[in-house]
A = this chain, B = another copy of it.
Amino acid sequence: MWFRVDPRASTPVYLQLVEGVREQVARGLLEPGDRLPSVRELAAEMELNHNTVAKAYLELERDRVIEVVRGRGTFIADVRPPHNRPERVEKLKDTMRHLLIDAHYLQMGDEDLIDLWRQVLQEWTLEKERGEP
């Protein structure tokens, strides 16, 4: 696919796949309706066991990131509002608070943190535009 996977990393390979697809979608490089390679195609292409890929697809389907249509293939699903939105927004805020704490211990001021955000956002949109020229 369009991203790499590290079989020696501590995160299981199938989770790296899951994260990879989610990221492609968030970046707009994969859009609702786009077709994913079949489990076996992707396994061959990335030199992975097809069970690993299947496990990733199962997880992605459970999270409604993809839709599997028997006999036709696997497609990126429409983004739908999640059930437990407030709870998940709260989690997001919690992550932000963690960022502030970590920044303190990295002796980064507010300015430095904003700079970092700028960097990340810039890289993010750059790659996004590269994908949809």
- Please give me the residue from chain B that is nearest to A94 by CB atom: B120
Q: Give A91-122 interface residues, CB cut-off 8 Å to B.
A: 91-93, 95-107, 116-117, 119-121
Known: A10-B67, A87-B83. A99 touches B95 (CB 8 A): yes
Q: Give A36-81 interface residues, CB cut-off 8 Å to B.
A: 62, 65, 67-69, 79, 81
The digit string for A18-34, where 1 denotes a CB below 8 A from any CB of B, is: 01001101100000000
Interface size on A, residues (CB 8 A): 43
Judge whether A104 and B10 touch: CB under 8 Å.
no
Known: A10-B69, A62-B62, A84-B83. A119 touches B103 (CB 8 A): no
Interface residues of A (CB under 8 A from B): 10, 12, 19, 22-23, 25-26, 62, 65, 67-69, 79, 81-85, 87-89, 91-93, 95-107, 116-117, 119-121, 124
